[in-house]
Amino acid sequence: MGFYEERILPHLVDTACSLGQVRELRRQIVPHAHGHVLEVGMGSGLNLEFYNPEQVHKVYGLEPSEGMRRKALPNIERSPVAVEWLGLPGEQIPLPDESIDTVLLTFTLCTIPDWHTALKQMMRVLKPGGQLLFLEHGEAPHETTRKWQHRITPGWKKIAGGCHLNRHIADLIRQAGFEIQQLENLYLPNAPKIAGYIYQGRAIKPLEEAPEGTENP
């Protein structure tokens, strides 16, 4: 990664992802994590303060950016739960099969180049019945907003760390074989609509995984 990605982008992402309304959404979803947790795209550790130490044994923080891991050091020091860094991208998760109780995704799935492989890796490491908690932004339901998302995304990716504005997050999660149990969609009140359509919810790994290439009903 270059100077921009390692020295400038981490500060921009940290600022955008710690705004008050985003922080409140994190506060709502992170406390539902339990057991051994894999946080994919931990970034600067903005979620750490919201983990419940009575429910969480350990958090594995998957984060490929050295700049983001460096930015996270103060939050790691204050963390109420034990954290172990995994310095690899989402497509490579160095954990055993069925070893994780909760996977947490917050504003990460938009940036992963091979989202399908990454979600399959998350499925692999989750225990049967384990949960995927997600808080993401993505494709909006309104045609005008959606058209602008598709137009802007190619240029946006270059300055925003690979972020796609136009991924339908719920569909991606379903296509990877997860069963969505809860889903809430909303526009962030004070954000541009092209970047502020939120997918928030919970999905589980089925007790019996569907064959490759099929979707759960």
pLDDT at res. 48: 97
What would the DSSP string read from start to end of 173-196?
A: HHHTT-EEEEEEEEE-TTS-TTT-
| Overall domain count for the chain | 1
CATH number for 197: 3.40.50.150
Q: Is residue 96 domain-resident?
A: yes
Q: Is residue 79 domain-resident?
A: yes
Q: Is residue 41 domain-resident?
A: yes
Q: Is residue 24 domain-resident?
A: yes
Q: Is residue 216 domain-resident?
A: no
Q: Is residue 209 domain-resident?
A: no
Bridge partners of 135?
106, 200
Q: Which domain holds residue 96?
A: 3-204
Q: Can you give the pTM of this predicted structure?
A: 0.89
Q: Which of the residue ranges 6-20, 118-132, 196-210 would you say has the lowest mean pLDDT?
A: 6-20
Q: Is residue 215 domain-resident?
A: no
Per-residue pLDDT tens digits for 52-108? 999 999 999 999 888 889 889 999 999 999 999 998 777 889 999 999 999 999 999
Q: Is residue 210 domain-resident?
A: no
